[in-house]
Amino acid sequence: MRTGPRLGRPAGLRQLLTAALSAQLDVFVLPGVDVASAAGLDLEAAGARVVATPRHATLLLVVGELPAGLREAAVVVYAQMPRPRVLIALGAGDVSPLPLPDVAAAADQHGLEHSLEEARRHLREGAWSLEAQPFEADALVPKRRRKKERPSEKPGPAHQPQHGQMDHAKAGHGGMDHGPADHGGMDHGRAADGRAEPDPAGGGREEPGRSEHAGMRHDAREHGGRQKRGTQDSAMQVGDMQHGGMQDGGMQHGGASGGMPMGFMSMVRLTQHLPRSSDGLPMERVQAPFGPFFPALPSGLDLTLWLDGDTVARVVSAQGAASRGIEASLVGDVAGLPDRLARVDPLAPRCYRRLAVKALEAAGMAGPEPAARLGWLAAVELERAASHLNWLSRLGFLLGYGWLASEAGRWQRALRGSRNVDEVAELESLVGAFLQRVRRTLLLARRLRGLGRLPGAELGGVSGPVARASGLRLDARLADQTYQELGFEPVVRSEADALARLAVRLDEVSQSLGLVRAWAQQRSAGDRQGSASLVPQDEAASSLVAAEVESPRGRASLELAVDGRRVVRAALTTPSPGAQELIERVALDAELADALVAVASLDISPWEVDG
């Protein structure tokens, strides 16, 4: 705990404070609560309280391995946490450039409980330390340097702001755009130009930041960006606006008012470089990161919004923030393929395991029995139901609907943990009642109706619930004989908005549980005795096989080139890249909250997107 504790002597009143600190564990989860829930972790039950910003957290909990790109962003999150802070890594492996974890354990409930206990001990014993050091990381430093080296920009009259350019956005917006390090912490460190880390002895404020500040203000003025002083003196602003219109620039007026420099506070001059809103009003746009760790959106989703007031004026969603060379990692021994493929998406591991087994079946190769004791169909369908509920829980959080967030989380954990068909049958009626209550929630339908409309004809290659909510009868399960025998018919809605996507997912949860029950009955009737396990065959000759499954997010397909007992080449197609391309369409020109809900309604898994 070198970068975790506060600087000071651990004595006196502080010991009393640390007792409370260790009893109240506020935790910010990386990459996100969705991944932690999918791993079966129940943070509340373990005694932690999940908070929405690292500013309010004592613990940073890393669940599972973070791809290198996300680890860089994680550094900024860590730097934003007030001390004392504890870093916990659950099954995370190497977390550099984050500091060495204070506690490391396996990513299961037991590991979580153990590590929270350890964290409590750390907080009791080491909340203050004389050896505390400021946290430094390369990910924070070079951007600051680069910023200092950049010459100051002095726009001429013809200067047209290019909001596509990050640099302009930063300089031109002066004070407003101060780098994710100061935002809620959901950024990637891409603008961590000032050290977010306060000097332990300096009262939480430090000099580089100050000097930057001065520089920024200067920039802002020259750029005609909005200044705080200006807004404080609104009377003068109004006067200038009236004058400015007549006097072409209002410079004389500006000069005359209160001995200010020439042109100071002229509304025309101040706003002439600013982009126009859709209503023609010149508005300064604010760039705000909403990822990759924004708690209400899928973890790992790299999303930046330019806000024009509270309207989204520009959307940038970089693909592959979580990229880590998936296809290359699939090459290797055939026997290990299901395990390797299952690691692709922490939100739907069983589905990808099934995909690997299905491909190997097609190749006539041996494959291990799918994960569940219940058989593959139950495993895949339970995972679909759990994944939808996990999504629903995050939607509840985004909508500020606390009951939905906790109840959906509870049911998804129950489904993931169910061991046999009887348990599933028991859950089916309880979950059904829950879903019915969600459908009847006051204001929920009104909140979602019409958001993120995506007519089916314009969807392109998108599949899954998003496509089915737009009236497309697309489902990889339709081609599967087992599902045909069960009389499977996909849930299709035609409204094509966020409400339809919610309705489709709610119905699919019930449908999946129904499929598990029907399948179990069919099996017990003796229809499918032979399907329990795969019999290893002799070495196959080199072959090219393909398989597809319907994952909770849509059609996932795998093409394998198998040579002997080795996978020599693999091509994986996942539903999320297509869905990610829809982000701009659903978010642009929407009110901020609507844009976030619309993006969330796509249920993107950034883990499936390999850049």
Partner 1 sequence: MTTLAYLLLVTLGGYGLAVVEEWSSSGRWRPSAPLLRSVALLARESLSPRLLDRKLFEAAPPLLLVAGVLSMAVLPLAPGVVPVELATGALWLNAALVYVAVALLMAGWGPDAAYPMVAGFRFLGQFVAYAMLVVMPITAVAMRASSLVVGDIITSQATLWNALLQPLGFAVFLLAAMAICYLPPFDQPVAPGELAGGVVGEYTGARLVVMRLARLVLVLSLALAVTVFYLGGWLGPLLPAPAWSVLKTLAVAGAMLAVGRYLPRLRTDWPLEWGWKVGIPLALLNIFWVGVVLLVADL
Q: Give the footprint of partner 1 on residues 399-428 (CB under 8 A).
A: 399-404, 406
Token readout for 233 is 């003196």
Please answer whether residues 197 and 135 qualify as being in contact, where contact means their C-beta atoms are separated by less than 8 angstroms.
Answer: yes
With contacts defined by CB under 8 A, name the span among 146-154, 414-422, 576-584, 588-596 that binds partner 1: 588-596
Residue whose structure tokens are 């399907």: 531
Question: Is residue 313 involved in binding partner 1 (CB under 8 A)?
Answer: no
Using the minimum distance from each CB to partner 1, give the nearer residue, 56 or 528: 56
Annotate each residue in 120-139 with x if it binds partner 1 (CB under 8 A) or - if it does not, as one string. Answer: -------x------------
Residue whose structure tokens are 């990637």: 188
Q: Single out the residue of 32, 64, 67, 84 in contact with partner 1 (rule: CB under 8 A).
A: 84
With contacts defined by CB under 8 A, name the span among 18-26, 452-460, 479-487, 496-504 that binds partner 1: 18-26
Q: Single out the residue of 126, 295, 452, 464 in contact with partner 1 (rule: CB under 8 A).
A: 295
Give buried/exposed letters for 294-330 (b at 16+ CB in 10 A, else e). Answer: bbbbbbbbbbbbbbbeebbbbbebbebbbbbebeeeb
Residues of span 213-232 touching partner 1 by CB under 8 A: 213, 216, 228, 231
**Minimum distance, C-beta of residue 561 to partner 1, in the bound complex (Å):** 44
**Minimum distance, C-beta of residue 397 to partner 1, in the bound complex (Å):** 5
- SS3 annotation, 123-135: HHHHCEECCCCCC
Query: Whole-angstrom Cα distance, residue 497 to residue 453?
Result: 4
Query: Whole-angstrom Cα distance, residue 197 to residue 132?
Result: 13
540 phi and psi angles, rounded to 5 deg: -85, 155
Token readout for 188 is 């990637």
With contacts defined by CB under 8 A, name the span among 104-112, 113-121, 303-311, 458-466 that binds partner 1: 303-311
Using the minimum distance from each CB to partner 1, give the nearer residue, 47 or 255: 47
CA–CA distance from 257 to each of 39, 237, 310, 366, 398 (Å)? 63, 11, 32, 84, 47
**Minimum distance, C-beta of residue 252 to partner 1, in the bound complex (Å):** 30
End-to-end CA distance of the chain: 35
Annotate each residue in 41-80 with x if it binds partner 1 (CB under 8 A) or - if it does not, as one string. Answer: ---x----x--xx-xx-x---------------------x
Query: Whole-angstrom Cα distance, residue 358 to residue 155?
Result: 60
Using the minimum distance from each CB to partner 1, give the nearer residue, 278 or 403: 403
Using the minimum distance from each CB to partner 1, give the nearer residue, 50 or 337: 50
Residues of span 151-210 touching partner 1 by CB under 8 A: 175-179, 181-186, 194, 196, 198, 203-205, 209
Annotate each residue in 522-541 with x if it binds partner 1 (CB under 8 A) or - if it does not, as one string. Answer: --------------------
Q: Single out the residue of 442, 525, 532, 535 in contact with partner 1 (rule: CB under 8 A).
A: 442
Please answer whether residues 56 and 77 qualify as being in contact, where contact means their C-beta atoms are separated by less than 8 angstroms.
Answer: no
Strands laid side by side in the 554-563 sheet: 332-333, 566-573, 554-563, 543-551
